[in-house]
């Protein structure tokens, strides 16, 4: 694998291999010396044109656990403010030795553009491009589902699990990445939200489209993945009124209590407590929000290993 740009191009075998590798790497964090020499001599650059807490830090942690050198670029304070282009910025970091560029960008398709432009030789990892894709988020979500719901009984097989993704589907790269990866892995996926937060063409996705969260909860999903409304991406469009949204789509304690005992509550973060998820639910035993973060480091180790070390 030269690049990781989206989950639509991962077949089941590739996805399972990445998840199996992540499961092996997840033990590294518990060692007295949580480091492997695997990527010694490799340089990874975080090229972030949008804000991030989890993705940027966990790529950094993953690279360091594999002994890679890490450089971090954030658009704030960079020469992008002086008009420097993506091409010139990417070529500049490659000239400093970047072997792997992990890029987050507000434009959908930016990672594909960088990977296929011929501007740089480095491997490209998409860390989120506009509303399009965020493949390592979907992989860490699948790793969490495997770890919590399938290890004992199913050997990591997600076939037949029902995952409901709730909220702003239209503007969510997390939803798009999860729909393609989870369905490739055999899960049943529902997308749930008000009509104004559903994307054009959603009826062609391999999912059930639902608007009534309470009826979805009656169906006893194995996991609910709660998403925030991405107000920063909703410009000049109708925005749902906060009161109506909270009333109809917030995962309250009352709603969570109607889920089966094994059902997980997930959220990619950042959470807006009291909007899409009640604070008590976010902190409850069925919430795996912090486990998702932990799995993120192992999954990103697996991706970096696969891009570079795995093939050599
Ligand atoms: N889930 C996620 O991408 O979080 P960050 O924006 O903090 O990286």
Nearest CA to ligand 1 atom 5: 52
Nearest atom of ligand 1 to the alpha carbon of 55: 8
Report DSSP letters for 178-238, one per residue: HHHHHHHTT-EEEEE--GGGSPTTGGGSSSEEES-HHHHHHT--SEEEE----GGG--SSP
State in Å: Cα 71 to ligand 1 middle.
19
How many Å apart are CA 44 and CA 69, to the nearest integer? 6
| pLDDT tens digits for range 13-61 | 999 999 999 999 999 888 888 899 999 999 999 999 999 999 999 999 9
Catalytic residue at 262? no
State in Å: Cα 48 to ligand 1 middle.
11
pLDDT value at residue 184:
98
Q: Tell me the pLDDT band of 310, cut-offs 50, 70 and 90.
A: low
**Percent of the chain clearing pLDDT 90 (strictly above):** 87
Q: Tell me the pLDDT band of 148, cut-offs 50, 70 and 90.
A: very high
Nearest CA to ligand 1 atom 6: 52
- The mean predicted confidence, pLDDT, of the chain is 95
Residue 190 has pLDDT above 70, yes or no: yes
Tell me the three-class secondary structure of 44-60, residue by residue: EEEEECCCCCHHHHHHH
CB 53 within 8 A of CB 269: yes
State in Å: Cα 270 to ligand 1 middle.
6
Residue 311 has pLDDT above 60, yes or no: no
| Ligand 1 pocket: which of 103, 268, 296 to mutate (most atoms within 8 A of CB) | 268
pLDDT value at residue 29:
86
State in Å: Cα 312 to ligand 1 middle.
30
Nearest atom of ligand 1 to the alpha carbon of 104: 8
Instruction: Order the strands of the 264-266 sheet from edge to edge.
Output: 208-210, 188-192, 162-166, 223-226, 264-266
Pick from 44-53, 135-144, 237-246, 278-287: least confident: 237-246
How many Å apart are CA 89 and CA 92, to the nearest integer? 5
Q: Tell me the pLDDT band of 309, cut-offs 50, 70 and 90.
A: low
Q: Which residues pair with 287 in a beta bridge?
A: 265
pTM over 0.75: yes
Catalytic residue at 273? no
| pLDDT tens digits for range 92-110 | 999 999 999 999 999 999 9
Catalytic residue at 235? no
Catalytic residue at 134? yes
Residue 155 has pLDDT above 90, yes or no: no
| pLDDT tens digits for range 119-132 | 999 999 999 999 99
pLDDT value at residue 240:
74
Catalytic residue at 55? yes
| pLDDT tens digits for range 200-255 | 999 999 999 999 999 999 999 999 999 999 988 887 777 777 889 999 999 999 99
| Ligand 1 pocket: which of 51, 270, 288, 296 to mutate (most atoms within 8 A of CB) | 270
State in Å: Cα 233 to ligand 1 middle.
15
**Percent of the chain clearing pLDDT 70 (strictly above):** 97
- Residues within a 6 A CB radius of ligand 1: 52-55, 128, 137, 268-270
């Amino acid at each position: 694998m030269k690049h990781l740009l989206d989950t639509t191009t991962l077949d089941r075998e590739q996805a399972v291999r990445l998840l199996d590798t992540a499961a092996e790497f997840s033990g590294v964090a518990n060692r007295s010396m949580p480091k492997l020499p695997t990527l010694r001599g490799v340089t990874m650059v975080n090229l972030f044109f949008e804000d991030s807490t989890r993705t940027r830090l966990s790529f950094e942690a993953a690279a360091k656990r594999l002994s890679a050198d890490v450089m971090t670029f954030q658009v704030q304070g960079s020469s992008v403010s002086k008009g420097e282009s993506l091409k010139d910025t990417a070529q500049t970091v490659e000239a400093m030795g970047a072997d792997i560029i992990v890029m987050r960008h507000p434009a959908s398709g930016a990672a594909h553009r960088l990977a296929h432009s011929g501007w740089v030789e480095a491997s490209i990892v998409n860390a989120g491009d506009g509303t399009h894709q965020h493949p390592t988020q979907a992989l860490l979500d699948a790793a969490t589902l495997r770890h919590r719901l399938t290890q004992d009984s199913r050997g990591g097989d997600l076939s037949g699990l029902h995952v409901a993704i709730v909220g702003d589907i239209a503007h969510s790269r997390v939803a798009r990445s999860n729909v393609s990866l989870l369905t490739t892995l055999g899960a049943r996926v529902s997308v749930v939200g008000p009509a104004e937060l559903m994307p054009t063409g959603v009826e062609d996705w391999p999912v059930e489209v639902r608007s009534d969260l309470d009826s979805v909860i009656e169906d006893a999903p194995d996991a609910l993945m709660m998403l925030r409304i991405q107000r920063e991406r909703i410009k000049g469009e109708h925005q749902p009124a906060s009161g109506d949204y909270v009333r109809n789509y917030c995962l309250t304690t009352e709603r969570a209590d109607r889920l089966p005992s094994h059902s997980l509550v997930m959220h990619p973060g950042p959470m807006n407590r009291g909007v899409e998820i009640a604070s008590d639910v976010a902190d409850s035993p069925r919430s795996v929000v912090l486990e998702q973060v932990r799995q993120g480091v192992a999954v990103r180790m697996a991706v970096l290993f696969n891009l570079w070390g795995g093939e050599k």
